[in-house]
């Protein structure tokens, strides 16, 4: 995939993901906003219901108490009253309970319409009506009567009244009740009970605080924690509204945990939204890094093919030159030259075969098709064989190879050929990545727990980034975009896999320009 196309695809994927996240956030905010509006509407309905219930309860109490007092007094004696309406009032001067009777007296003077209009046939006499009012001081007070009456008794007396009587009482008692302080008309317990019931009926199960205000003056009715939450959203509803729709009392309600309640009410949808968003981000991240990995692998494979081509091109060219030389009559007459060129062809062919074998071995290791044939051997045997293989390379670089082998004799189940390749690869790497001076120390040690081999050089060293990748397939240390050392990048990957198949571990310590140290451990308590 071209770099530009890859960048465009990644940008489009990122833009789409960002758009989905923005839509999800907008949807969550809209959902919370709708829930908040629904919550406010339900709370206001609950407050309205509480206000109406308190008003009706107060009216019922006054009517039932008035009816009981009047029942004890009996019916009015004035037979001339055509209509009598009685109610209980309270004197504001001497704080006495009064029975107020209002009626209309009908008077007739024996005057008929025909006196004014002889032609009139109406024989109904002309009547005169006068309004009268009588007040009686009672021994009982309304509040005391209300407190002594049971709920069932109140309801029985209210049920006896007609709708017309109730309307008459309501108009009068509203004026009477308005003269009383709010604490005499309702209690904190009643308000809290009614609020809790009405809110639960609307599925609002959350703590609340409330207070009753008279204008801007706070009354004693309400909860103590109201003032601590006064900065939160406050819901208001007037209490004891008069016939003109006015009221001097106001019930104020707050919810300290409102935000948490609203979020919990839409938690499932928010959780699913967040979950799916996280899944999308995860999938995008995995896709992105996999794309980068595949892109890197593609570049590494291309580089690997180029390096392998170079590795094969040199021996093939050498073989071709040797064959051309052997084809000449001059060389054919010189047995020493023929032997030399044949040896060169054999060495170069072996070199190519080794390169191909390395690639095949790595492929088998990756597919777990490689089976090690092991035998109990002295691990130093493979190390000595590897030293002989690289001795010539060290001599060509005029280097030094210091070998310190532990004299203790042990036997481990190992594959001699593969272990020889492990030590050859480590020693060749030490030679390749050394500058002008090649100085290598190979040390072995035997303890009760492990057999340890270290290969230390004083070469160019590695950065921390290189150390993390040095055992990856196809990876080779670079200088910029130029490979300073030729190779296919399979050696250390092969080494690590073979060591692990022998139940061993390998790690590297290195500093730039100070060299590297590879350490291999084979635990003696774990056998193949």
The pLDDT tens digits of the residues spanning 235-246 come to 999 988 877 788
User: Which of 120-124, 246-250, 295-299: highest mean pLDDT?
Assistant: 246-250
Reported as a pLDDT band with limits 50, 70 and 90, residue 281 is: confident
Q: What span, in angstroms and rounded, lies between the C-alpha atoms of 394 and 118?
A: 159
**Under 8 Å CB-to-CB from 259, ≥6 apart: which residues?**
none
* DSSP helix/strand/coil, 324: helix
How many Å apart are CA 137 and CA 58, to the nearest integer?
Answer: 23
Which ranges of 178-266 would DSSP assign to H, the alpha helix? 182-185, 188-201, 258-265
373-385 per-position pLDDT tens digit: 788 999 999 999 8
Residue 41 has pLDDT above 90, yes or no: yes
pLDDT 10s digits, 174-214: 766 777 788 888 889 989 999 999 999 998 988 999 999 98
Residues 42 and 364: their CA atoms lie apart, in Å, by 72
Range name among 19-23, 169-173, 222-226, 326-330 with the lowest pLDDT average: 169-173
Distance CA 231, CA 46 (A): 21
| Rounded Cα gap, residues 18 and 16, in angstroms | 5
Helix axes 3-73, 267-326, angle to 10 degrees: 170
Segment 108-120 shows an average pLDDT of 49
Q: What is the percent of the chain where pLDDT is above 90?
A: 18
SS (H, E, C) 344-397: HHHHHHHHHHHHHHHHHHHHHHHCCCCCCCCEEECHHHHHHHHHHHHHHHHHHC
- Tens of pLDDT, residue by residue over 507-516, are 999 888 888 9
Say whether 165 sits in a helix, a strand or coil.
helix
Quick check: 57 pLDDT over 80? yes
Are 359 and 490 in contact, with CB atoms under 8 Å apart?
Answer: yes
Q: What is the pLDDT of residue 167?
A: 61
C-alpha pair distances (Å), 356 with each of 51, 264, 314, 363? 93, 65, 14, 11
Going by DSSP bridges, is the β-strand pair 439-446/400-404 parallel, antiparallel, or unpaired? parallel
Whether 418 shows a pLDDT value over 50: the answer reads yes
Note whether 466 and 483 are within 8 A (CB): no
CA–CA separation, 315 and 355 (whole Å): 11
What 3-state DSSP class applies to 244? coil
pLDDT beyond 70 at 474: no
pLDDT score of 108 more than 60: no
Q: Lowest mean pLDDT: which of 118-132, 242-256, 310-324?
A: 118-132
pLDDT of residue 197: 92
Q: Which residue has the higher pLDDT, 432 or 209?
A: 209
3-state secondary structure 203-241: CCCCCCEEEEEECCEEEEEECHHHHHHCCCCEEEEEECC
Residue 261: both structure tokens together: 């309640």
What is the per-residue DSSP string for 70-126? Answer: HHHH-S---TTEEEEEEEEEE-TTT--EEEEEEEEEEEE-S--GGGT-TT----PPP
| CA 138 and chain centroid, separation | 71
Q: What is the DSSP letter of 479?
A: B
Residue 323 has a pLDDT of: 84
| Angle at alpha carbon of residue 439, lines to 435 and 443, rounded to 5° | 140
Q: Is the dihedral of CA 192, 156, 161, 172 positive or negative?
A: negative
Q: Which residues in 129-166 are b (16+ Cβ under 10 Å) and which e?
A: eeeeeeeeebeebbeebbeebeeeebeebbeeeeeeee
Quick one: residue 405, left, alpha or beta (phi over 0 = left, psi -120 to 50 = alpha)?
Answer: beta
Which of 271, 65, 51, 58 has its CA nearest to residue 148?
Answer: 65
Sheet hosting strand 209-214, strand order edge to edge: 217-222, 209-214, 249-254, 234-239
Please provide residue 461's backbone torsions phi and psi, each rounded to the nearest 5 degrees.
75, -175
pLDDT at 222 over 70: yes
Mean pLDDT across the chain:
76
pTM of the complete model: 0.45
Enter the DSSP assignment of 516. Answer: E
pLDDT at 299: 72
Instruction: Tell me the residue ranges of DSSP E strands in 43-80.
Output: none
Question: Which of the four pLDDT bands, split at 50, 70 and 90, describes residue 440?
Answer: very high
pLDDT of residue 185: 84
**Which of the four pLDDT bands, split at 50, 70 and 90, describes residue 486?**
very low
- Cα distances (angstroms) measured from residue 30 to each of 276, 368, 455: 18, 55, 66
Please give, one letter per residue, the 3-state secondary structure of 275-323: HHHHHHHHHHHHHHHHHHHHHHHHHHHHHHHHHHHHHHHHHHHHHHHHH
Of 430 and 525, more confident: 430
The pairing of strands 249-254 and 209-214 is: antiparallel
DSSP state of 334: -
Q: Which of 422, 374, 406, 384 is nearest to 527 (CA)?
A: 374
């Amino acid at each position: 995939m071209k770099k530009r196309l890859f960048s465009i695809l990644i940008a489009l994927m990122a833009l789409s993901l960002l758009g989905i996240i923005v839509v999800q956030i907008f949807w969550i905010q809209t959902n919370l906003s709708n829930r908040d509006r629904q919550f406010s509407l339900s709370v206001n309905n609950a407050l309205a219901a509480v206000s109406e219930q308190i008003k009706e309860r107060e009216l019922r109490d006054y009517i039932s108490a008035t009816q009981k007092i009047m029942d004890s007094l009996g019916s009015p004696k004035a037979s001339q009253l055509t209509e009598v309406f009685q109610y209980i009032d309270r004197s504001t001067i001497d704080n006495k309970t009064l029975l107020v009777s209002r009626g209309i007296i009908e008077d007739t003077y024996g005057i008929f319409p025909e006196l004014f209009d002889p032609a009139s046939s109406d024989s109904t006499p002309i009547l005169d009506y006068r309004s009268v009012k009588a007040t009686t001081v009672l021994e009982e007070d309304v509040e005391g009567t209300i407190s002594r009456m049971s709920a069932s008794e109140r309801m029985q007396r209210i049920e006896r009244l007609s709708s017309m009587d109730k309307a008459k009482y309501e108009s009068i008692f509203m004026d009477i009740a308005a003269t009383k302080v709010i604490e005499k008309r309702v209690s904190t317990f009643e308000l809290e009970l009614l609020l809790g019931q009405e809110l639960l009926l609307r599925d609002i199960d959350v703590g609340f605080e409330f207070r009753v205000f008279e204008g801007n003056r706070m009354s004693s009715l309400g909860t103590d924690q109201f003032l601590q939450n006064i900065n939160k959203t406050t819901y208001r509803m007037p209490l004891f509204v008069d016939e003109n729709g006015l009221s001097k009392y106001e019930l104020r309600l707050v919810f300290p945990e409102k935000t948490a309640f609203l979020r919990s009410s839409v938690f499932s949808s928010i959780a699913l939204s967040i979950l799916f968003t996280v899944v999308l981000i995860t999938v995008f991240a995995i896709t992105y890094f996999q794309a980068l990995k595949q892109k890197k692998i593609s570049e590494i494979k291309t580089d690997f093919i180029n390096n392998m081509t170079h590795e094969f091109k040199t021996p093939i060219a050498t073989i071709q030159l040797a064959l051309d030389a052997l084809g000449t009559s001059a060389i054919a007459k010189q047995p020493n030259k023929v032997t030399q060129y044949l040896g060169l062809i054999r060495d170069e062919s072996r070199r190519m075969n080794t390169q191909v074998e390395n690639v095949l071995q790595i492929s088998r290791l990756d597919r777990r098709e490689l089976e090690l044939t092991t035998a109990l051997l002295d691990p130093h045997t493979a190390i000595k064989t590897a030293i002989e293989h690289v001795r010539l390379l060290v001599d060509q670089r005029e280097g030094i190879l210091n070998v310190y082998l532990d004299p203790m004799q042990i036997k481990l189940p190992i594959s001699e050929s593969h272990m020889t390749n492990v030590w050859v690869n480590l020693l060749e790497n030490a030679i390749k990545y050394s500058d002008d001076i090649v100085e290598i120390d190979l040390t072995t040690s035997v303890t009760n727990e492990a057999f340890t081999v270290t290969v230390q050089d004083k070469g160019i060293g590695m950065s921390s980034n290189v150390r993390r990748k040095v055992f990856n397939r196809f990876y080779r240390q670079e200088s910029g975009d130029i490979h300073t050392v030729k190779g296919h990048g399979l050696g250390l990957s092969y080494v690590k896999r073979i060591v692990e198949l022998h139940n061993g571990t390998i790690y590297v310590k290195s500093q730039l320009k100070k060299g590297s140290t590879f350490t291999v451990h084979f635990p003696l308590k774990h056998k193949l």
